[in-house]
Homo-oligomer: A and B are copies of this chain.
C-alpha cells in the first residue's frame, strides 16, 4: 500500500545499487547495469550521486581482460560506516563495520561481571571515539546492538537479558543520547541469522533459520521471505523454550521440558571434564573422546534437538538450517545423526528441500549482524541517511 512520488524512484534505484555493491562487493558499472536492469546512462548518474554522498568511489578498471571499453569499478567507501555494539556475558565488543560487511575496527572489553545497562552508553561512546580516530574519522550512519535477550523492536527496550542481569533497560534511547546516532537494537540470534544469510552459510537464502548454542542457552533467528522475522513485538525466535520432553527440568525462564533444559553445553563440558571451552575446543574434545557416557549424552541431546528442528521444519519450511556454537559441535560429533532422526519427526516434503549447515562467520557473526541491522536505513534511503550521518 505504499505510494510513490517521483523522488522515491530515485531513492529506490540508489538503494538497489548500493545494496548490490554492499552484498555482491565491488562491481563494475557494467555489471551493475546488468544486475539492476537500468540503463547505462541512469547507472552512471546514480553512481555519481552515491559517490557524492561519500558512499562509494569509482576506481580505474582493473585488468581489462576482455574486448570493449573497460568499465570503472564501483567500490564501497569507508567514509560512512555503522557502529556495532555486542554486549555479552564475558565482554562488550564495539566495532565499526563498513559496507560489504567488513569489520574496520574492533574493541573488545572483557569483564568478570557484565556492567549494568546504564554504564554501557558512556563505555560505548568512548570506545567509538577511539575507533573513529583509528579509522580516519568516518561518519557513523547508525548503531546496531545485538542483545542476548528479549528486545522490544519498537523502541529498543531490553525486556530481559538474564545473562547480563538486565531487565527493562531502555538501551536504545540511552545509547542514542550518549552517542548521538540512531540506534537499532535486536536479539542476537536474529542478527546472527541475518549475518549468515547475507555473508555466511545461508548466503542468498530467503528462508533460513539460525540456531545457536552458547553458554547462556539456545537462541534462534528466523529469516522468512528474505526479511528477518521479528514477530509483532520483536520476541520471535525463542526456540530454546520449545517443548521437547515431559521431563521436569526447568530452563532459565522456568519453563519445564524445553530444548534448553535438555540440550546444554555445560552438561557436555562436565562429562568431558572441561572447565570452559569455546565452541572449537569443545568440538575437538567431543571428536577426540572415546567415552561411552559422552557418546550417549551426545545422542540424547541430538535426539531432543531433532524434536525442535522437526518442529522448525514443519512450521517454517526453511531452505537452510544453520547451526552455531556447540550445536554445530553436536552435529559434527555424529554426522548424519540429526538428519536421520528428522526423517521421523518432520514431514517429508519440507525435509526434501532442507539443508543443514554449520555457521561460517565465526566470532564476527554478531558484529556483522549488528552492522547489517544498522545499515538498513542507509541501504533503504541512501541520500537521507547519509545526510543525517
Contacts and interface: CB of A to CB of B under 8 A. Distances in A.
Contacts of A310: 241-243, 255
Contacts of A316: 229, 231, 236, 315
A311 B314 CA distance: 12
Given A224-B224, A311-B311, A349-B159, A317 B234 contact: yes
A230 to B, nearest CB: 7
Interface stretch (A71-79, A134-142, A339-347, A365-373): A339-347
A235 B354 CA distance: 12
A113 interface: no
Contact of A255 (B235, B238, B242, B345): B345
A47 to B, nearest CB: 14
A257 to B, nearest CB: 9
A229 B238 contact: no
Contact of A8 (B9, B225, B317): B9
Interface in A273-329: 307, 310-312, 314-319
A229 B236 contact: no
Interface stretch (A12-20, A94-102, A124-132, A178-186): A12-20
Contact of A3 (B8, B38, B231): B38
B232 A319 contact: yes
A207 interface: yes
Contacts of A38: 3, 5
Contacts of A345: 243, 255
Interface in A1-50: 1-6, 8-9, 12-13, 16, 19-20, 36-38
Interface in A237-251: 237-239, 241-246
Nearest to A254: B344
A227 interface: yes
B3 A6 contact: no
Contact of A314 (B207, B242, B245, B307): B242
Contacts of A206: 232
A231 B6 contact: no
A155 to B, nearest CB: 14
Nearest to A150: B349
Give 4 nearest A-B pairs by CB, closest first: A231-B317, A232-B319, A207-B232, A235-B350
23 contacts: A1-B16, A3-B37, A4-B9, A4-B12, A4-B13, A5-B9, A6-B6, A205-B232, A207-B232, A222-B315, A229-B316, A231-B317, A233-B317, A233-B353, A235-B350, A236-B315, A238-B315, A241-B346, A241-B347, A242-B310, A242-B311, A243-B244, A255-B347
